[in-house]
Structure 1
Amino acid sequence: MSLETRTSDGWATTRFVVLGFGTAGYACADSLLQAGAEHVTVLDDRDNEALREKAQILETLGATITLGPGTTAELPKDVDIVVTSPGIPPYAPLLAHADEREVPIWSEIELAWRLRDPAHAAPWLCITGTNGKTTTVQMLTAMLTAAGHRAVAAGNVGLPLLEVVMDPEPYDVIAVELSSYQLHFTHSMSAHSAAVLNLAPDHVDWHGSMEAYAKDKGRIYENCQIACVYNVSDPVTEQLVIDADVIEGCRAIGFTLGTPGLSMVGLVEDLLVDRAFVEQRETSALELAKLADITPAAPHNVANALAAAALARAFGVPATAVRDGLRGFTPDKHRIAHVAEVAGVNYVDDSKATNPHAAQASLLAYEHVVWIAGGQAKGATFDGLVLAARERLRGVVLLGQDKQVIAEALARHAPDVPVITVEATDTGAMQIVVGEAAKLAQVGDTVLLAPGCASWDMFANYGARGDAFAEAVRRLGGV
């Protein structure tokens, strides 16, 4: 398509400020320049060689890049629109100034929506939630691909969404993962269909309250066209659907691990079934797949599969493609991944469980668990998790900065569960942790790394933490 299509609304004369010059900020500025914007200013308080090299590229295209401490303290005088990078909180000085002056603030998602080619605009199937977003988006993409569509995962996972919408070869459909950060400054998006998988306290420091966090998640349903998919076991997600201003005719579709009611997808024995997108849904259901088609078939992963199936069915994907997509799907590393069996004990890496809600889902997938937990709790509490999982806990091994927070919850609600605290924080700490867990485990048990915390106190990221766990397990087994 021609760039003229995207600049017909006068963007060439619009004065843009892009806040932040990381991956998202660079993509925003570059996309604006590609679309013909002639007044693009990028601001970032950081200043290093890598940023200066990137700045040179955009400056040759006509952008103005200003780097260094204090750069983002105030909003320039002549600005029409601010495009902000995800993660920069709304109370940041420049954004606060923009709000005071009633200057529109766009997220990268808002920019991507507005940059779509109106002649070939691929529908967006959007997913958010506290946990499970990436897996669900990837499952959905597998189903769409199995149905023969040119589909891609984008947004908070996969390709940058701006790159996808600017691709000269248009996609048939886009599976979009959205974080609460990205949704906060997204205003005009109108998804074909959207899902909120679950809601639990997370990023409350950024949003200011749990209510504000939930409200931002609920933005995904605004102007939704075909289906708003919600979690039957999480009433807050259904309330977000009720509160949303959707396109007339858009339907509320539930997903459940129980027997589905009308306009739901769910389980009947070992089958995933659809009572939402079949003509005779009042009296019958359509088989979509078997539990055996899902890897792994832990309850929260089955819930992910059902949410993905609901979105796929809303888009018209046949049942056979739902099944084939699930059969061919392999989760990313560090998501309830089986590492090894050693002396009759299974070792599972769910390092991606970086908050209590995700860790609880993992714990409830196993009958008897030695739980490895700890790290940076980000202000989270663990009382609800311990109450839900205490009957399954064979023992607990704790590590990391906020291990005491978890230890205190265990003392309050599961005082009989053995707890071992590992004080080491060096590279050999995980070896000690796994060794202690092995001593607590019995044949048939699962040793589960589901930290419920961020990893940055001891590891570069959750992946490095999971890799350290897997390596320690291999050494334990003599592999």
Structure 2
Amino acid sequence: MPSEFTGKHVTVAGLGVSGVPAAKVLHGLGAHVTVVNDGDDERARAQAAELEALGVTVRLGDGDTLPEGTELIVTAPGWKPTKPLFTAAGQAGVPVWGDVELAWRLRGLDGRKPAPWLAVTGTNGKTTTVQMLASILKAAGLRTAAVGNIGVSLLDAVTGEEEYDVLAVELSSYQLHWAPSLRAHSAAVLNLAPDHLDWHGSMEAYAADKGRIYEGNQVACVYNVDATDKPSTEDLVRAADVEEGCRAIGFTLGTPGPSQLGVVEGLLVDRAFVEDRQKNAQELAEVSDVDPPAPHNIANALAAAGLARAFGVSAAAVRDGLRAFTPDAHRIAHVADVDGVAYVDDSKATNTHATEASLAAYESIVWIAGGLAKGATFDELVTGAAKRLRGAVLIGADRALIREALARHAPEVPVVDLDRTDTGAMLQAVQEARRLARPGDTVLLAPACASMDMFTNYNQRGDAFAQAVRELGA
């Protein structure tokens, strides 16, 4: 069946988890597809061969030149807006979409009613919140999936054979930057803290891209009442152009006001989606239904509940969905207790904001940290956590930045600086942490840094930590 893409010359920028599916879908819709890619390694050549067998043109090692005749670019989300390819596209009047924008425009192309999107972004907690939301929606008997930046392709979700009632969608700032026409049923921004500023250019640009998730919302813009950063998530709601009748719904770890969800005497409660919200509240779940019940994870649960309630889900389904949810590995995962000391893997805490939340969950900590800082500074993080630190063990390429912050703001905290960036350093780090710890302490891997200086990804880093802990207890 002809589509708006039939005969259109489309350039797909970047191979990988988004580029290959986009190229295949566009080719299947009758577009003339050319893929450009910066790299020319073995993996890229294998992907290129797969696409070329379908009739797709692939240019490896040249991601900066705009192919002649290009009418549309569909880019991998991580490609920076400053790339020469996009400069050339702007000069030629060629629009640039991301894979999320493409997926949004392909909804309903096969004649099926498009599933509404409940969308989540934020510096931290996106994946957990989207997984909680999907669990709640499933508990309500809805056909759903957790998709987007979470690893399941949105393109697959909107073009596949399975039909959905609603989708729980995780979106990164990169994806939102390239998604100009996205209009969610309801959306949440969990928090804002400096991250990926090398890509966005400034905190203001980063926040603006996050705020795109609220544009055109139909029912609810869910925001973090407790956020103190500026701009705040509430500021982004105020700036958004939404549909008539769309409501601002806050979530807080304190007692909620009208049009908010919050916590009262160990209960998650809703004062937003109830009759006479000035006087009434609806119990949703107990704090103990959230796993783990750390403060930032309770906030995630409230945000997920807010989106689900905006979609009409019952209080019972919120409770049942939260009880059924199992957190991912490497996210505040309790590995073992050894000699009265708890060992916790939060390898997914790859920036200071995530690590701040992780450190706040424990009273006395031996902190294992370090890696690639991505331009971050650590003074504020260390200042806030100093009273909780029994000691610190530092690893990775940028560990000196953390060591210097500790010297400035927590000089009494003993620090072990491991001058190693090999994967075997984790075993020594755990051994040093054991030496510093006392019964009742928590040895916490919350690196506040990316992992690629020493490991393939944060998963491998967390696995190395868990293996080292197991060797302690052997």
* TM-score normalised by L of structure 2: 0.96
State the distance in 2 between where 1:205 and 1:301 align.
28
Q: Which amino acid aligns with 2:428?
A: I
CA distance in 1, matches of 2:434, 2:234: 42
2:234 aligned residue (211, 235, 238): 238
| Residues 283-432 of structure 1 mapped to structure 2, 5 A cutoff | 283-432=279-428
When residues 158 and 147 of structure 1 are mapped into structure 2, their CA distance, relative to the original with a 3 A threshold, is farther
- Choose the corresponding residue for 2:24, options 11, 20, 30: 30
Instruction: Pick from 66, 78, 95 the counterpart of residue 75 of structure 1.
Output: 66
Q: Any unmatched runs of 5+ in structure 1?
A: none
Percent sequence identity is 63
In structure 1, which of residues 113, 119, 129 is the aligned counterpart of residue 122 of structure 2?
129
1:447-470 CA distance string (max 9 Å, x none): 110000011111111111111111
Report the Cα offset of residue 49 of structure 1.
Answer: 4.4
1:394 Cα deviation (Å)? Answer: 1.1
C-alpha separation in 1, matches of 2:50 and 2:447: 41
Q: Give the 3-state SS of the residue equivalent to 1:23 in structure 2.
A: coil
Give 3-state SS (helix, strand or coil) of 2:6's partner.
helix
Of residues 98, 102, 105, the one that matches 1:111 is: 102
Alignment correspondent of 1:177: 170
Counterpart code for 1:115: L
Letter of the 2:213 counterpart: I
State whether structure 2 residue 34 is matched by structure 1 residue 66. Answer: no
Aligned to 1:159: 152
Equivalent position of 2:459 in the other structure: 463
**Over aligned residues, Cα RMSD in angstroms?**
1.3
What is the CA deviation profile of residues 371-400 of structure 1, one whole-angstrom value per residue up to 9, with x for unaligned ones? 111111111001111111111111111111
Q: CA deviation at 1:421?
A: 1.0
Aligned residue identity for 2:395: L
Which residue of structure 2 lines up, in the alignment, with residue 203 of structure 1?
A: 196
- Measured after TM superposition, the shift of residue 61 of structure 1 is 3.5
Residue deviations 1:259-306 (CA, integer Å, cap 9, x gap)? 011101010010000000111211011000001111110001111111
* Whole-Å separation in 1 of the counterparts to 2:31 and 2:412: 67
Note if contact 1:344-1:443 (Cα within 8 Å) is conserved in structure 2.
yes
Task: Give the letter aligned to residue 320 of structure 2.
Answer: D
Aligned partner of 2:252 in structure 1 is 256
Deviations 1:160-185 (A, max 9, x none): 00000001232111111001111111
Q: Is the 8 A contact 2:11 2:72 kept in 1?
A: yes
Tell me the residue number matched to 1:214: 207
Shift of 1:48: 3.9
For the residues of structure 2 that align with 1:231 and 1:431, how far apart are their CA atoms? Answer: 38
In the alignment, is the contact (CA less than 8 A) between 1:334 and 1:351 conserved in 2?
Answer: yes
Assess if the C-alpha contact under 8 Å between 1:38 and 1:62 holds in 2.
no
Q: How far apart in 2 are the matches of 1:106 and 1:53? A: 25
- One-letter code of the match for 2:449? C
* Higher mean C-alpha deviation, range 325-334 or range 427-436: 427-436
Q: CA deviation at 1:45?
A: 2.8
Give the conservation status (yes or no) of the 8 Å contact 2:77–2:178.
Answer: no
Partner of 1:171, secondary structure, is coil
- What secondary structure, in the 3-state scheme, does the structure 2 residue paired with 1:458 have? coil
Q: 1:48 to 1:427 in 2, by over 3 A?
A: closer
Q: Match for residue 9 of structure 2?
A: 15
The aligned counterpart of 1:86 is 77
Q: One-letter code of the match for 1:246?
A: V
Contact 1:19/1:85 (<8 A) preserved: yes
Per-residue CA deviation, residues 4-36 of structure 1 (Å, 9 max, x unaligned), is 5xx1xx3213221111122211111111122x2
Which whole-Å CA distance do the structure 2 matches of 1:49 and 1:422 have between them? Answer: 34
* Aligned residue identity for 1:97: A
Structure 2 counterpart SS, 1:12? coil
Maintained 8 Å contact 2:217/2:242: yes
What is the rounded CA distance, in whole Å, between the counterparts of 1:304 and 1:245 in structure 2? 25
Q: CA 1:410/1:49 → structure 2, altered by over 3 Å: closer, same or farther?
A: closer
CA distance in 2, matches of 1:81, 1:425: 43
- Separation in 2, partners of 1:16, 1:59: 15
Identify which range, 36-45 or 187-196, moves more after superposition.
36-45
**Contact map agreement 1:273 1:287 (CA 8 A) in 2:** yes
* Structure 1 residues 51-71: Cα deviation after superposition (integer angstroms, max 9, x where no partner): 34433443344422222x3x2
Report the Cα distance in structure 1 between the residues aligned to 2:138 and 2:151, rounded to whole angstroms.
Answer: 15
**Corresponding residue number in structure 2 for 1:279:** 275
Q: Is the 8 A contact 2:65 2:84 kept in 1?
A: yes
Cα shift at 1:50? 3.8
Letter in 1 for 2:90: D
Size of the aligned set, in residue pairs, is 469
Displacement of 1:40 after TM fit? 1.5
- Which of 44, 48, 54 pairs up with 1:51? 44
Distance between the aligned counterparts of 1:99 and 1:307, measured in 2? Answer: 37
Matched residues in 2 for 1:382 and 1:62: separation?
50
Q: 84, 91, 105: which is aligned to 1:100?
A: 91
3-state DSSP of counterpart to 1:443:
coil
